Amino acid sequence: MLVHGSCHCGQITYEADVEPDAVRVCHCTDCQQLSGTLFRAVIVAAREKFSLRSGEPKIYVKTTDSGNKRVQSFCGTCGSPIYSSAVSDPPSYSLRLGLIRERAQLRPQKQIWCRSALPWAMNLEGVEKISQQ
């Protein structure tokens, strides 16, 4: 499936060919802190199927608990997180689902790092829903 992504301000745009069933939600504490929210939804795109169309993301390298280093890319203007990847010669990119225009068609198939999830974040049934602010 061809997807199109852009940061909030539009300076960074990309296209990727992804497998729709490759969407996952990550509850790890790094994703919580780097996204500023409870979890992060991503879809993996192979390097050869990802194309940056405009802009140049800023890079932050995070050392994970395992000692591996992960690139965290983001827009230097609006701060939107774009993707994460291995530091050198990445085989794939973990694209941030919220930036993808076709995100409504991409349903998560797996949740990972659930031991780090806030207990109430796993089930929001019964929480009041309001259509707009």
In a domain, 132, yes or no: no
In a domain, 129, yes or no: no
CATH number for the domain harbouring residue 73: 2.170.150.70
Within 13 Å and on the Cβ side, how many CA atoms surround 46? 8
In a domain, 130, yes or no: no
What's residue 127's pLDDT? 84
- Each residue's pLDDT expressed in tens, for the chain with a length of 133 residues: 999 999 999 999 999 999 999 999 999 888 888 888 999 999 999 999 999 999 999 999 998 878 889 999 999 999 999 999 988 888 999 999 999 999 999 999 999 999 999 988 888 888 888 988 8
What's residue 75's pLDDT? 97
In a domain, 106, yes or no: yes
pTM above 0.75, yes or no: yes
In a domain, 108, yes or no: yes
- First CA to last CA across the chain, in angstroms? 33
Identify whether the C-beta of residue 44 lies closer than 8 Å to the C-beta of residue 112.
no
Identify the domain containing residue 18 by its residue range.
2-118
In a domain, 72, yes or no: yes
In a domain, 26, yes or no: yes
Task: Give the H or E element holding residue 32.
Answer: helix 29-35
What's residue 128's pLDDT? 87
Domain count, the chain: 1
In a domain, 123, yes or no: no
